[in-house]
Amino acid sequence: MPAIVLIGAQWGDEGKGKATDILAGQVQWVVRYQGGNNAGHTVVLPDGQDFALHLIPSGILTPGMRNVIGNGVVVDPGVLLDELSGLEARGVDTSNLMISADAHLIMPYHVAIDKVTERFLGKAKIGTTGRGIGPAYQDKVARVGVRVADVLDEKILHQKVEAALDLKNQILVKVYNRRALDVDEVVDTVLAHGRRFAERIADTRLLLNKALEGGETVLLEGSQGTLLDVDHGTYPFVTSSNPTSGGAAVGSGIGPNKITRVIGILKAYTTRVGSGPFPTELLDAMGEHLRKAGGEVGVTTGRPRRCGWFDAVIGRYAVRVNGITDFFLTKLDVLSGLESVPICVGYEVDGKRVDDMPMTQTDVHHAQPVYEELPGWFEDLSACRTFDELPANARAYVQRIEELTGAPVSAIGVGPGRDQTITRDV
C-alpha cells in the first residue's frame, strides 16, 4: 500500500486537520513532515468535542493510529509536553506517538530571536507566529542545530548549546538589547523535558519504510500551505520549510515513488494570516462577512484571518507544484447566501493579462484579480451528503473550480464535523 500526501493548496488553514481526521479511518500511520507548532489544525469529533493540534499529527485522535513527528519537523520540547498532557487530560491515548531522532529542536533562543527580528523589521515584518520556526530552520541549514537525539546525550547537548549561545547571546544583547540566556539553564530545561519523551524517540524513517514494505498505508499530513512554501510560496512572506508535496518525502525519509496520491486541501474562498501579497483580498464589508461566516480566526495566534474570493491562479499553481491528484474542497457551506460568487480566473499585471503565477515578487504585488461572476445560492448546505443534494449553482461552482484548476474535487466540506462531508467518485 502506498503513501498519501495531504497538503494545503493556499496559504494554510484550508481544513487539513479535518481532512486528516477523515482519512485516518483508511490508513495505519499519520506523519507530520515539516513545520512545527506554528500550525493549528482543528478536528471536530462526532461527539462535538473539538481539538486544536499544533505539533502532534491529527491522527492522534483516531484510536489505534500510529503517529510520527518526522525528521523535517521542528519540535519545541515544552510545547510537545504541554500538548501531550492536554490531550491525555481529555482522555486521548498518546502512547502511539513517535518522534524522529533527527528532527530539530526549537530552543528558547529561537523563540526569542523570532520575536525580536519581527519587531526589528517593523512594517516589513513577516507576521510570523512567533514560535521560533524560522530561527530553528536557519540553524538546521547552518549546521548548528540541536536535534531530538541530542537530549539523550548531556555532554553533546551542552557543547551544542554553548556553541550556539556564544553567538546568539551577542546578537540578543548587542543588536537587540535583550537579556543573554544562560547555557546551563537552557541545557537543564531541555534535558528535563527530554527525559519525559525519551522513550518516544525513534528512527522513524526505518519505521515508516518497514510499514510501507509490510503493506500499510501512510498519510503525510502537511501543515501551512503551498503559498507559504519557502521555495514555491510568496517569498519572503512564507514559512521556513517545504509544505509542498516534495517536502513530504524529504521530511519523512520515504522515497517519492512511494507517494501515489497527493490530496490538495482547498478552501472554497481564500484566507491568509500574516503579511504578504494576496491578490483577491477583500478589505471591505464582504471580507468581514467571510471572516464572520467562516469563523476565520487563527487557531494558533488568535489573529483575524485576511479573507478574499477564490483564486484559480493559485489553485492551478498548487496543482502544478504539488502534483495534486484530487482536491478536498472545504467550507463550501460558508458561501451560502450570496447573490453571486466571484472567482478569480486570472490577473492583470501592469495592464497585461496573465493566467499563471507571475514570476517576480513585484509582479505578484501588482497582480489585480480578473473575476468571473457565478450565480450564488441561498440554501443551507450543512445537511447535504451527496453531490446531487447540493443546489445547482453550488454544483456549478465546484465544477468551475475543477475546470479552472485542472484537478477533480473528490470531497466537499459542508461544515466542520467529520460527517459534514460529501465524497465523490472522480
> Cell numbers 519523512 label which residue?
252
Beta strands 352-354 and 326-330, pairing class: unpaired
Closest approach of Mg ion to the CB of residue 175, in Å: 32
Whose Cβ is closer to ligand GDP: residue 212's or residue 244's?
Answer: 244
- Interhelix angle 154-170/183-197, rounded to 10 degrees, is 140
Alpha carbons 424 and 217: distance in angstroms, whole number: 21
| Active-site position among 21, 41, 160, 229 | 41
In contact, 58 and 29? CB cutoff 8 Å: no
Report whether the peptide linkage leading into residue 236 is cis, meaning its omega lies within 30 degrees of zero: yes
* 297 Cβ contact partners less than 8 Å away, ≥ 6 residues apart: 291, 303, 304, 305
Q: Which of the residues 296 through 325 are near Mg ion (CB under 5 A)? A: 299
Does 274 bind Mg ion (CB under 5 A)? Our answer is no
Does 97 belong to an annotated binding site? no
Does 8 bind ligand GDP (CB under 6 A)? Our answer is yes
Alpha carbons 188 and 183: distance in angstroms, whole number: 9
Residue nearest to ligand IMO (CB): 274
Does 287 belong to an annotated binding site? no
Closest approach of ligand GDP to the CB of residue 298, in Å: 7
Q: Which of the residues 230 through 249 are near ligand GDP (CB under 6 A)? A: none
Burial class (CB in 10 A: 0-12, 13-18, 19+), 301: middle
Site map 189..228 versus ligand IMO, x via CB under 6 A: ----------------------------------xxx--x
Interface pick for ligand GDP out of 219, 314, 416, 422 (rule CB under 6 A): 416
In contact, 39 and 223? CB cutoff 8 Å: yes
Residue 13 sits at φ, ψ, to 5 deg, of 60, 35
Which 8-state DSSP code applies to residue 171?
I
Does 36 bind ligand GDP (CB under 6 A)? Our answer is no
Please choose which of ligand GDP, ligand IMO, Mg ion, none residue 150 contacts, taking the beta carbon within 5 to 8 angstroms, the exact cut-off set by kind. none
Q: Is 115 a catalytic residue?
A: no
Site map 60..99 versus ligand IMO, x via CB under 6 A: ----------------------------------------
In contact, 127 and 147? CB cutoff 8 Å: no
Does 39 bind ligand IMO (CB under 6 A)? Our answer is yes
Does 304 belong to an annotated binding site? yes
Q: Is 41 a catalytic residue?
A: yes
Q: Is 140 a catalytic residue?
A: yes
Closest approach of ligand IMO to the CB of residue 168, in Å: 18
Whose Cβ is closer to ligand IMO: residue 11's or residue 327's?
Answer: 11
Alpha carbons 203 and 397: distance in angstroms, whole number: 45
Alpha carbons 311 and 347: distance in angstroms, whole number: 10
Strand locations in 89-190 (E): 97-100, 104-105
Interface pick for ligand IMO out of 15, 57, 72, 134 (rule CB under 6 A): 134
Alpha carbons 368 and 277: distance in angstroms, whole number: 11
Q: Which of the residues 320 through 349 are near ligand GDP (CB under 6 A)? A: 330-331, 333-334
Which 8-state DSSP code applies to residue 179?
P
Please choose which of ligand GDP, ligand IMO, Mg ion, none residue 57 contacts, taking the beta carbon within 5 to 8 angstroms, the exact cut-off set by kind. none
Stretch in the footprint of Mg ion (CB under 5 A) among 33-41, 129-137, 148-156, 400-408 = 33-41
* 284 Cβ contact partners less than 8 Å away, ≥ 6 residues apart: none
CB neighbours (10 Å) of residue 322? 26
Alpha carbons 373 and 344: distance in angstroms, whole number: 9
Strand locations in 254-380 (E): 259-267, 270-272, 306-308, 310-311, 326-330, 340-349, 352-354, 368-375
| Active-site position among 54, 104, 110, 140 | 140
Does 104 bind ligand GDP (CB under 6 A)? Our answer is no
Whose Cβ is closer to ligand IMO: residue 109's or residue 397's?
Answer: 109
Query: Which residues form the interface with ligand GDP (CB under 6 A)?
Result: 8, 12-18, 40-42, 44, 295, 299, 330-331, 333-334, 413-416
Query: Which residues form the interface with ligand IMO (CB under 6 A)?
Result: 8, 11-13, 38-41, 126-129, 131, 133-134, 223-225, 228, 239-240, 273-274
Annotated binding residues = 12-18, 38-42, 129, 143, 224, 239, 299-305, 331-333, 413-415
Which residues are known to be catalytic? 13, 41, 140
